[in-house]
Each structure stands twice: as structure tokens, then as C-alpha cells.
Structure 1
Amino acid sequence: MTWTKKLLQLNDVLSDLVPDKDGIIKYAKASGLKPQSMGLGSNVTDIWNTILNEADKSSKIDTLLKSVLDAYPDNLYLKSALTSQEIDFSASPDIDDTADWQDVSDETLELLTMEQSTLLPVNFLAKGVLKSKSVGKVELKIGNNRYSVGTGFLFKIKEVDALFFITNYHVINDKKDIERTRIIFDYELDVDDHSVPSRSFKIDPDGPWYSSGIREYDTTIFQLIDEADRLAEYGWIELKEVEITANDFVNIIQHPKGEMKQISLYHNIVTHTDDRVVQYLTDTLKGSSGSPVFNSDWEVVALHHSGGGSKPGEPKLPEGIKSRNEGIFINKIIQFVKENCKM
């Protein structure tokens, strides 16, 4: 089997959607494969790798995808994988290459079993909805029916009189891509589960362009063209310097896999901080790059940029909890904006 970029991403998506061996075996059998004869191991990614290899040999990739789609009918990537359209998830950097990932502590594991209260005032939800208006999907056309996707958000800081949009450097980093990129707001569902009419904006090619590489702040900042004065409808998130410590809770508003806007609220615990990064346990998927990471007061504490599976020797997490997610500490990004705006 030739592992194209599309199939590699499919392996990642399936591993995220169905992260348990029994579930994988169920879908494999439903597509006419015989997983019992494949000698499957215990690592989810490796199991899906084996299943996809066998499906390819038997010309059953589409059959396998359709069996999974029965359970996830709205999954954008699975649907596109059955067509000529290809979606690139702006592959985030390998967390092992960009940071020193700290182990999950026993104290954090205690918190995950609800030793700490997660009660919040009900207006927490209303505040989150207001913040979510400023979060948009980044879509970069990279070929015929092929798109690279990510997330970003509108922001301001008090010391600078300008409205900016921010995402990751690995999502968009070349000004040559401006014409092929659009930022989409309101790509989400309303309270009746109906699609909200979305609106897209182009990047201002003559406006500011501040970027910082993956190993520094993994950040690209620019302005949007707003000739009809419509951006005001989406407001902005005010960035200010904050404090964040291990075992704080965080929440992420995102467009995982380029799908409609979603929020990760459960079991989101900070495991490590330093003067550059914030590391946390939470649910993110490909396409979440560039999402705002909020604390419980809906203040942005980080710009999400990378994630991964557990590493050898890491404490075993409760079932369903994902590890190794990381964002760039927002204080560093605020300093970065101020330094560039003085130029």
C-alpha cells in the first residue's frame, strides 16, 4: 500500500474517532474484513494502520469508510475521503520536536477522577457563546478540490489600536497564499441544530503580517478585508497577560477536522507551564490548530498548536482521556504583537 498524505491523515482521523480496539474490529468486520487473522496489537494507530492496509489489498477502503460513516454521518473528512476532494489538516508539528513534554502527575490523575469540583455558574455557558463568535475556520485552497484547514480568532490588545486575526504559522505562513485563503465565521449549528448562514472574509494583502516560526511562537497574525463593515458582528477577544498553573482547567473552541465549530469542555486540565508553552489534557483533532485556549474565566491563556498520543512510560490515563496537547503561552504572543507594532 502506498501511504499517500490523504491516507496518512485518514489513519489519524480514524484513530481519533474510534480509539478502542473493539470498536475498530467491529467496523472492520462490517466492511467484510477478517481482523482476527491480522495479529492486531494494542496501539490504536497501529491497529488502524493494519486494517487500512488489509482494506486496500481487498479494495475495501470505501466500504470501510462507509461502515464508520454509519456512526459518524456528519464527519467532513470521511465524506470527502469517498470523493475526489481532499482536505489537509495543516499538520501540526510533532510535539516531541518542539517542546519538552512533561509527564502527567499523580495529582492530575486524581483531578481527572473528579477529586476537584467542576461546578461553574450557569452564565459560564453564555459567556463562552459570546467568545465563540470571534473564532473562525481557516481554509486554504491547495489544489482542485483540495483544502488545508485550521482555526483562528479575532483579537485586540489594549496597547494597540487595531483588530487582528491570529492562527498558527504552520496553518498559513506564506503571503503568497493570501489569495487562496478565506476566513469563515458562523460555520456552526444553532440551538435547533440547523446550520447558521456563514460568512467568509479575505486576508488584507496590504495590511500587517506578523509571523513567528514553529519552534518559537508558531504564530501568524494579519488583518481581514472588511469593506462592508461586517466584522463588527463577530466582535473580538481581548488578549491580556494572565497567570496559568498546573491543574487549572482550560477549554478550547475549535473547528476540528475543518468541521462546524465545537468546544472541548470535559477533563481539560493543565499539566505543565513555562514561559513559552502551556501543556494540557483535552480533546483536539486535526484542524484544531490555531484555536484559543481559555481558562475558566474565558481569558485566553494559549494558542493551541500541537498534540499527540501518550509517550512510553507516561502514567496511564483514564479511558477516553487524551494526552499531550500544547499551546503557546498567550503572554509571549502579546509581547510579540507589541514588538512588531512598534516597527
Structure 2
Amino acid sequence: MTDHWQPSGPWMSRFREALAQAFNAQSIELLTVDHFAPNTFENIAPAGPGRTFAYRLQELINQARMEDWLLDLVAAARERRPANPVLAAIADERGLTASGARLDNPTGQPLQQLIQANAQFITPAVFSARLPVLEGQICWIDIPGGGGTGFLVGPDLVLTNEHVIRSIRDGQPSWQRVRCWFDHQVPLGRADLPRKKRTEVALAEQWLVDSRPPSRFDWTPTLGDAGPEETDSALIRLAEAVGEMPLGGSSSDPDAPPREWIRYDPAARLAVGRQVFLLQHPEGEPLQLTIGTVTAFNAAGTRVRYDANSKNGSSGSPCFDADLRLVALHHAHDPHYPPSWNQAVPIEMVHQVWGKHGVTAGWED
């Protein structure tokens, strides 16, 4: 993924200065321990008389460049300090996100141009700062024989599709065999690079909080009017409150931000012609950011279609507007290839049905 990239001296100086502003010697050591190998910083750049923190950081950067894990260091630093605008800008310049998510953008327009044309409240820089936080809140639901995407809507609550978890609900396979994978990453440089393992969380014993069925219209070429209770949604509980733990997994760094969860914004809406952004784990692959355009709503407003790409395993993905507000729950795509449409349930439908049945998640905090 590095494409034989050779960073310039000014780029490395800017990265070093960004690291020095965002970390100290203890927290950079914790970063390298958490993401690479024990004592990485101390081994590469030991402390000593006259060896300033800036000098040691330059040694770390030089080693990472020589061993082809510099981009992984950039991504790790951005994940640990997602609100740092300089680290975000440096990562964006190389097309990186906190999880190394790939970008699927069939619109032909630059990402910044799409954001500027569609966002109501934020700028591309703010979009870039919010994106890595959202990435840490998406998971692959690993089910033997299947699976799907899901996302945190509370400290220990994941929202996905009913059809994703149907086999578990029916006991084949058992819920004990299911794991939710957060931080599902691959190295950006060397394939053999030791990276921190993904964060795997089991289901709670009382794992199914709420489920609502899909509609018989959901996989037909013509948009039908799915009923207000047909949200194809499932709220599942995890065995651990992963949303209260640091982004990227456990760490001793006191400044590591908590993962948190995706909030519901009643003002967020999609419109025909606007861009939609999906964060998904297609077929269980590492995270992918897909961009598309909204093409249609059904008459009842209970389904929305768009041309963003998806695959099996994308079911349960969150859909966002250009302000990165949650707007829909992706759940279906054209069964023909190449597909001519993809489809989601507007998130206000899920919110309404939960309110009707007294289901609480924490996403309105």
C-alpha cells in the first residue's frame, strides 16, 4: 500500500512536530507497545544525555521508514489522538484513516469537493477529524457460516439487521460462538508487521434486546411500502462495555479517548441527489468507506435507495450524511450483478419503533 513512497524531509519534520505536540515520551512508548511490539520506542530510540524527545522521535520515524511501517505509525498516532488536526491532515494526505479503511468512491469527484457541496454544518477538516472516531465504533459480527456489519449505539449495544442475527436467534450456531470484531485492521506496510490484535467482544448471555423483521418488498426491483414496524433491525448486547474502553483497545495511556458510540440526531435526513457515506465490512473484509448518491425513496418514506457499492456482509452498516450524522441502516442490495441499487432503512424508523416498545439504547445522550 505504500507504493514505494519516499517521504520528504519537510514531511518527516512536520510529522515529528505533530507527534511531539500530541505525545510525550511515556505516551509514545505506550502507542508503540499497543500497536507494534513491546519497548519499540525505548529499543529504537533510548533515552540518554543530550538525546532530546524530538531527536528520539526522529529516530523512530527513520526506523519506521526504513522498515516500511511509517504509514502504520501515522495511522496508529491518528487513532490514539483522533482530535489532533495536524495528525488528521497528515493521514488524509496519504489517503489513510484510523483503521486503514479503503475508500470506494464511484462518483468521480474528490472527497473534499463532495463534502463541501453536501455538508450543511462541517468542513472537510472536521469531517476528517470525525471519521476515525466513527471507524472505531463499527464492527464485523463474526457468525460461523455468515456474519454482517454492526455499530455501537450504547456502551455495550450494537445495532445491525434482523436478518444478520436470525441464525443465532434460531440457535444455529449458538450465540456463544459469535464475536464482534472492532479495530479490524491490516498492516499498511510490511505484511508481517506485528500489530495489536483486533478487539474481539463476545455476546452477553441475554444478548438479544430487540428485533424487528424486514419487509417482503425488501429485495424486489420495485420499491414497495414496507410497514413502520418492518425495520429489519436487531439490537444486541455485548458481554463488555467496549464503548467505554479506549479507542483501539485497552491501553495504559490516560489520554487515550474512549471509543464511545454513535448518537441519534433527529435533525439528520437524506435527500435525493445528496451523497451518502457507508462504513462497512463487506464479506468480513477490513473497514471500507463507500460513497454514493441517494436515488429514491418509497412512497411511505420507509426505505431509501442509493448507488453506493456493497456486498454480502455489508448488511447492518451505518449510513451517514456529509455531516457524518447517522441517517440510515443499510440492509439490502440488488441480487443481480452488477447491482443497480442498494437500500437502507431511515434511522428515524428504528428510533420510532424503539420508542413505541420502550427500548432504550443510550444513543440520545
TM over 0.5: yes
Distance between the aligned counterparts of 1:132 and 1:342, measured in 2? 25
TM-score normalised by L of structure 1: 0.55
Structure 1 pair 263–196 and aligned structure 2 pair: CA distance change class (3 A): farther
1:154-165 counterparts in 2 under 5 A?
154-156=152-154, 163-165=156-158
Question: What corresponds to 1:220 in structure 2?
Answer: 234
Match of 1:118 among 98, 114, 118: 114
> The residue matched to 2:206 in structure 1 has which SS?
coil
Question: What corresponds to 2:182 in structure 1?
Answer: 185
1:326 aligns with 2:338: no
Query: How many positions carry a matched residue from both structures?
Result: 212
- The answer to whether the Cα contact below 8 Å between 1:155 and 1:236 also exists between their aligned partners in 2 is yes
Distance between the aligned counterparts of 1:153 and 1:293, measured in 2? 11
> The residue matched to 1:151 in structure 2 has which SS?
strand
Deviation at 1:206, TM superposition (A): 2.3
Aligned-pair identity (%): 24
Distance between the aligned counterparts of 1:219 and 1:122, measured in 2? 32
Structure 1 pair 255–296 and aligned structure 2 pair: CA distance change class (3 A): same
Question: What corresponds to 2:358 in structure 1?
Answer: 341
Distance between the aligned counterparts of 1:289 and 1:168, measured in 2? 6
1:197 aligns with 2:190: no
Query: Which 4+ stretches in 1 moved above 3 angstroms?
Result: 111-114, 174-177, 189-196, 227-233
- The answer to whether the Cα contact below 8 Å between 1:257 and 1:288 also exists between their aligned partners in 2 is yes
TM-score normalised by L of structure 2: 0.52
Deviation at 1:222, TM superposition (A): 1.6
> The residue matched to 2:132 in structure 1 has which SS?
helix
- The answer to whether the Cα contact below 8 Å between 1:309 and 1:324 also exists between their aligned partners in 2 is no
- The answer to whether the Cα contact below 8 Å between 2:307 and 2:340 also exists between their aligned partners in 1 is yes
Deviation at 1:208, TM superposition (A): 5.3
1:151 aligns with 2:176: no
- Counterpart of 2:342, as a letter, is N
> The residue matched to 2:316 in structure 1 has which SS?
coil
Distance between the aligned counterparts of 2:242 and 2:312, measured in 1? 32
Unaligned runs of 5+ in 2: 1-105, 117-123, 216-229, 248-258, 361-365
- Counterpart of 1:129, as a letter, is P
Structure 1 pair 192–127 and aligned structure 2 pair: CA distance change class (3 A): farther
Question: What corresponds to 2:21 in structure 1?
Answer: none
1:271-282 counterparts in 2 under 5 A?
271-274=295-298, 275-282=301-308
Match of 1:269 among 270, 277, 293: 293
Question: What corresponds to 1:6 in structure 2?
Answer: none
- Counterpart of 1:261, as a letter, is L
Match of 2:311 among 285, 293, 306: 285
Structure 1 pair 229–336 and aligned structure 2 pair: CA distance change class (3 A): closer
Of stretches 289-298 and 230-239 in structure 1, the one that deviates more from structure 2 is: 230-239
Distance between the aligned counterparts of 1:327 and 1:295, measured in 2? 13
Question: What corresponds to 2:261 in structure 1?
Answer: 236
Question: What corresponds to 1:102 in structure 2?
Answer: none
**Structure 1 vs Structure 2 CA RMSD:** 3.0
Distance between the aligned counterparts of 1:153 and 1:307, measured in 2? 19
Deviation at 1:219, TM superposition (A): 0.9
Deviation at 1:297, TM superposition (A): 0.6
Question: What corresponds to 1:62 in structure 2?
Answer: none
- Counterpart of 2:280, as a letter, is Q
Question: What corresponds to 1:206 in structure 2?
Answer: 206
Distance between the aligned counterparts of 2:311 and 2:234, measured in 1? 20
Match of 2:334 among 295, 308, 311: 308
- Counterpart of 2:307, as a letter, is L
Structure 1 pair 197–303 and aligned structure 2 pair: CA distance change class (3 A): same
Q: Deviations over 1:154-173 (max 9, x none)?
A: 014xxxxx752111111103
Question: What corresponds to 2:15 in structure 1?
Answer: none
Distance between the aligned counterparts of 2:243 and 2:315, measured in 1? 27
Structure 1 pair 287–210 and aligned structure 2 pair: CA distance change class (3 A): same
- Counterpart of 2:346, as a letter, is F
Distance between the aligned counterparts of 1:165 and 1:269, measured in 2? 26
> The residue matched to 2:131 in structure 1 has which SS?
helix
> The residue matched to 2:324 in structure 1 has which SS?
coil
- The answer to whether the Cα contact below 8 Å between 1:282 and 1:322 also exists between their aligned partners in 2 is no
Deviation at 1:192, TM superposition (A): 4.6
Deviation at 1:123, TM superposition (A): 3.3
Structure 1 pair 235–247 and aligned structure 2 pair: CA distance change class (3 A): same
Unaligned runs of 5+ in 1: 1-110, 142-146, 157-161, 312-320
Q: Deviations over 1:188-216 (max 9, x none)?
A: 23665765520111111225520001211
- The answer to whether the Cα contact below 8 Å between 1:135 and 1:154 also exists between their aligned partners in 2 is yes
Structure 1 pair 200–113 and aligned structure 2 pair: CA distance change class (3 A): closer
> The residue matched to 2:129 in structure 1 has which SS?
helix
